[in-house]
Structure 1
């Protein structure tokens, strides 16, 4: 399981094209605009301007998902946050939003409607949290 990264993007919400391009960066590692553009255009049903890819890569950099490096005259991008860390961040944010409801009755009603497998998962999570906190206290 991926831990929460030390670096957190400034903005977690991404549009569909931003998400698609981020997945391409995760898959390829280090990319230039041409790499991403070629990957998208490998689908004959797709059309996308080269400049649009550049704009999206710049937006993902501004949002804190990517870092940009310039070598000679070529710009390349890499992900700052791994795919696994991004999933952890999203789960963390969703859980915080759910708990922000602030009404224990709503949370309890939701928890009461869960099936046994989900209840078992919640119990396993609670046990793991207790172990993590105990280990932290013992340090």
Structure 2
């Protein structure tokens, strides 16, 4: 289970190109604009300006997903959270928003519409949560 990191990006919402480029950074660990641009253009059906990649990398930095440093004349970007941490943060925020509806009828209606497999998943999740809480208490 990936714990929620203490650090969280300032802005979680990402556009499709931002998400695609963030996944490239996660895959490679450290990238230059050239690295990302070449990766995207490896698909012969894609076109994307080099400057667009730079803009998106800067936007991801401003949103708090990436950090940038310069080595020589080249800028490099690295992720501030791992892919797993990013997914955990986004999932947490979505669940938190859903539960903050504060209308028990909506939540109950949703839970009532789940199929058997989903109910079993929820039971497994509840069991895992209980296990993690017990471990924390025993520390």
Aligned equivalent of 1:85: 85
Aligned equivalent of 2:67: 67
Please state how far the C-alpha of 1:136 moved relative to its aligned partner: 2.0
CA–CA distance in 2 between the matches of 1:124 and 1:28? 33
Please state how far the C-alpha of 1:134 moved relative to its aligned partner: 2.4
Flag structure 2 segments of 5+ consecutive residues without an equivalent.
Answer: none
Is the counterpart of residue 58 in structure 1 residue 50 in structure 2? no
Alignment of 1:1-139 (within 5 A): 1-139=1-139
Please state how far the C-alpha of 1:45 moved relative to its aligned partner: 2.1
Question: In structure 2, the residue corresponding to 1:70 is in which secondary structure?
Answer: strand
TM-score under structure 1 length normalisation: 0.92
Please state how far the C-alpha of 1:135 moved relative to its aligned partner: 2.4
Please state how far the C-alpha of 1:21 moved relative to its aligned partner: 0.7
TM-score under structure 2 length normalisation: 0.92
CA–CA distance in 2 between the matches of 1:109 and 1:41? 46
Please state how far the C-alpha of 1:83 moved relative to its aligned partner: 1.2
Please state how far the C-alpha of 1:16 moved relative to its aligned partner: 0.9
4+ aligned runs moved over 3 Å, structure 1: none
Question: In structure 2, the residue corresponding to 1:75 is in which secondary structure?
Answer: strand
CA–CA distance in 1 between the matches of 2:43 and 2:123? 45
CA–CA distance in 1 between the matches of 2:128 and 2:45? 47
